[in-house]
Amino acid sequence: MHHSIEVDHLSFSYPDSHAALRDVSLRISPGEKVALAGPNGAGKSTLILHLNGILKGDGQVTVCGLPVEQKNLGRVRAAVGLVFQNPDDQLFSPTVFDDVAFGPLYQGLPPAEVERRVTSALAAVRMSDYARRVSHHLSTGEKKRIAIATVLSMEPEILVLDEPTAGLDPRARRALINLLRGLPLTMLVSSHDLAMARELLPRMVVMDEGRIVADGPTQELLGDEKLLEAHGLEKP
Amino acid sequence: MHVHFLDPYRPRTSPIHALDPRVKFVLTLAYILTAALTPIAAWPVYILLLAAMLSVEILSSLGVRYVLKRASLALPFVLAAFPVIFTNGQTALFSFSIGSLTLTGYAEGLARFLSVALKSWLSVQAAIVLASSTPFPDLLQAMRAIRIPRLLVAMFGLMWRYLFVLVDEAMRLMRARAARSGHRAATGPSPRLRAGSRSGGSVAWRARVAGGMAGSLFLRAFERSDRIYMAMAARGYDGEVRALPLSSVKPAAWLALGSGLGMLFLLLLLGVLFWG
């Protein structure tokens, strides 16, 4: 039985020598749903980009038992579904269908299987009627859901989301939370939306200045006002 | 805020809209090629070509007026062919002088100019009908079908996808500038302050602001391209462009393609035989 995500002593500096991650270690078990909180610039996004090898720092990252290395990148990227913060960056194809089909296509699946994956991924986010639509004409909430479908179609083990509720109105936010609740995947969600974390994600990891400063049950950490205040967070 | 006006596609239910995009694409190219290859001054052939185009426009239920209005946008470019009237031919038609310069218009030159103008007008109409009756993603499929390099087609797709995003961003920037471009009240506290205070600043200053906006737009586009690449890599992109196989062309579409190409070939033949 392997961990879903294992990060060992990971450090990373950007080319301008600004240290974004300092000796980060983290373990997430299969099926766990974890919130990743912390102020802007804490290193949350940088950590997320390490999980499927887009960035490469010093230290060991293992995903579903596979070390994140050049030779495993294809399998790692199929196992980790990364949903970026801005859906306009994630939806780069002419139509919704093409976007959702992109991942399966690059996994080398046969056309019939690609079609099946697209249909079921769109059904999972309740956007089945949108296959032929053009991404530009969708609302932010719709785009977010399509963005999630684009990684669900790869049938990943782990879903990693960067700020999924940013910029959504309350109704779209609620729909998204309900959608995420229904997905039986390991989840790592980077967010400032601590109310969502409390509702959806039983475990919370707090980062600040490139380090993990707290890791525990969400309820407990949200009760620790001193901790929250020290790291620029607010009790929801 | 979203920009839709850039997208020329007009959804209608018409036989032209329903036609296989690959057939439409090939026929449009063939039409433009026929118009280009038809000899100079083959007026009856031009009229037949125009008749064919007008019937397609009526069939497409886009409206002839809509297409002609858009086609007029291409007319200024026809002026590039204007000097041909004075440089080409033997039969002097008219002559006038500007200062010491005497210009002589020739009949052959005029015929050539009118032919070029007509040909480009017809070609532009064909392109407009194609773009207005076919969603862009279908056009991309058509390009793939006729073996335009996949990388090029993928680049067209990305360009089209992000053109709208970029224009949205530019409009947001311009709106933000407008929101902060206030005028001071007409009645200031002292007349001295009022005199010579013109809102908006100098031309040089405005140019600097506009330049800064263009620069920031470029930087944003550049950063966005980075993020898009990461999003593509995260889903397995490895530098090779892949796509699902295309569906097969239906018999009815083959028939439309065959009869369209046949008709265009006959028109071309007619032109070459009698006026070539």
Contacts (Cβ under 8 Å, ≥6 apart) of A193: A165, A166, A173, A236
Indicate the pLDDT class of residue B187, thresholds 50, 70 and 90: low
Tell me: pLDDT of A99 over 70: yes
Please tell me the predicted confidence (pLDDT) of residue B34.
Answer: 96
Please tell me the predicted confidence (pLDDT) of residue A7.
Answer: 93
CATH fourth-level superfamily of A5-230: P-loop containing nucleotide triphosphate hydrolases (3.40.50.300)
**Distances in Å between the alpha carbon of B75 and those of B68, B80, B121, B122?**
11, 10, 7, 11
Picking from A74, A90, A106, the nearest residue to B231 by CB comes out as A90
Indicate the pLDDT class of residue A22, thresholds 50, 70 and 90: very high
Tell me: pLDDT of B22 over 90: yes
Contact indicator for B36, B119 with CB cutoff of 8 Å: yes
Compute the average pLDDT of residues B174-196.
Answer: 67
Whole-prediction pTM: 0.82
Helix (H/G/I), strand (E/B), else coil: B201: coil
Compute the average pLDDT of residues B115-126.
Answer: 93
Mean pLDDT of chain A: 91
Contact indicator for A143, A75 with CB cutoff of 8 Å: no
Tell me: pLDDT of A121 over 50: yes
- Considering only CA atoms, which of B109, B102, B107 is closest in space to residue B87? B109
User: Does B34 or B185 have the greater pLDDT score?
Assistant: B34
| ipTM for this prediction | 0.84
Q: How buried is residue A120: exposed, middle or buried, by Cβ count under 10 Å (0-12/13-18/19+)?
A: middle
**Nearest 10 degrees: Cα torsion A42, A172, A93, B8:** -130
**How do residues A65-80 score in pLDDT, each as one tens digit?**
889 988 888 889 889 9
Instruction: Report the C-alpha gap between A126 and A145 in whole angstroms.
Output: 8
Please tell me the predicted confidence (pLDDT) of residue B190.
Answer: 54
Tell me: pLDDT of B86 over 80: yes
**Distances in Å between the alpha carbon of B247 and those of A111, B123, B145, B243?**
11, 29, 10, 12
User: Does B275 or B26 have the greater pLDDT score?
Assistant: B26
Instruction: Report the C-alpha gap between B191 and B247 in whole angstroms.
Output: 76
The region of weakest confidence among A83-87, A135-139, A144-148, B13-17 is A135-139
Picking from A78, A92, A134, the nearest residue to B236 by CB comes out as A78
Give the per-residue SS3 of B44-71: HHHHHHHHHHHHHHHHCCCCHHHHHHHH
**Contact A92/B136, CB-based, under 8 Å?**
no
Contacts (Cβ under 8 Å, ≥6 apart) of B246: B22, B141, B144, B145
Please tell me the predicted confidence (pLDDT) of residue B1.
Answer: 47
Instruction: Report the C-alpha gap between A24 and A9 in whole angstroms.
Output: 5
Indicate the pLDDT class of residue B189, thresholds 50, 70 and 90: low
**How do residues B200-221 score in pLDDT, each as one tens digit?**
678 888 888 889 889 999 999 9
- Residues in B closer than 8 angstroms to A82, CB to CB, are 231, 234-235
Picking from A80, A89, A95, the nearest residue to B231 by CB comes out as A89
**How do residues B258-272 score in pLDDT, each as one tens digit?**
999 999 999 999 999
Compute the average pLDDT of residues A117-126.
Answer: 93
Q: Which residues of B touch A (CB under 8 A)?
A: 2, 4, 135-137, 140, 157-158, 160-162, 164-165, 224, 227-228, 230-238, 242-245
Compute the average pLDDT of residues A205-211.
Answer: 93
Please tell me the predicted confidence (pLDDT) of residue B120.
Answer: 92
User: Does B89 or B129 have the greater pLDDT score?
Assistant: B129
Instruction: Report the C-alpha gap between A53 and A5 in whole angstroms.
Output: 13
Q: How close A227 gets to chain B, by Cα (Å)?
A: 32
Compute the average pLDDT of residues B20-36.
Answer: 95
Q: Which tokens hold the place of A210?
A: 């490139």
Max CA pair span of chain A: 55
Which residue of B lies nearest to A86 if distances are taken between CA atoms?
Answer: B227
Tell me: pLDDT of A224 over 60: yes
Indicate the pLDDT class of residue B188, thresholds 50, 70 and 90: low
**End-to-end Cα separation, chain B, in angstroms:** 54
Please tell me the predicted confidence (pLDDT) of residue B2.
Answer: 56
Please tell me the predicted confidence (pLDDT) of residue B101.
Answer: 82
Mean pLDDT of chain B: 87
Instruction: Report the C-alpha gap between B27 and B123 in whole angstroms.
Output: 12
Q: Position B234: which residue type? A: A
Instruction: Report the C-alpha gap between B249 and A12 in whole angstroms.
Output: 52
Contact indicator for B129, B56 with CB cutoff of 8 Å: yes
Please tell me the predicted confidence (pLDDT) of residue A235.
Answer: 85
Indicate the pLDDT class of residue A115, thresholds 50, 70 and 90: very high
Indicate the pLDDT class of residue A12, thresholds 50, 70 and 90: very high
Tell me: pLDDT of B273 over 60: yes
Contact indicator for A152, A121 with CB cutoff of 8 Å: yes
Helix (H/G/I), strand (E/B), else coil: B9: coil
The pLDDT > 70 percentage for chain B reads: 92
Instruction: Report the C-alpha gap between B161 and B224 in whole angstroms.
Output: 13
Residue whose pair of structure tokens reads 């600043």 in the numeric block: B201
- Considering only CA atoms, which of B222, B227, B156, B233 is closest in space to residue A102? B233
Please tell me the predicted confidence (pLDDT) of residue B199.
Answer: 62
Tell me: pLDDT of A177 over 50: yes
The pLDDT > 70 percentage for chain A reads: 99
Strand ranges inside chain A, DSSP E? 5-13, 19-28, 33-37, 58-63, 66-67, 80-83, 158-162, 186-190, 203-208, 211-217
Contact indicator for A21, A10 with CB cutoff of 8 Å: yes
Which residue of B lies nearest to A132 if distances are taken between CA atoms?
Answer: B137
Contact of A82 with chain B, judged by CB distance below 8 Å, is answered with yes
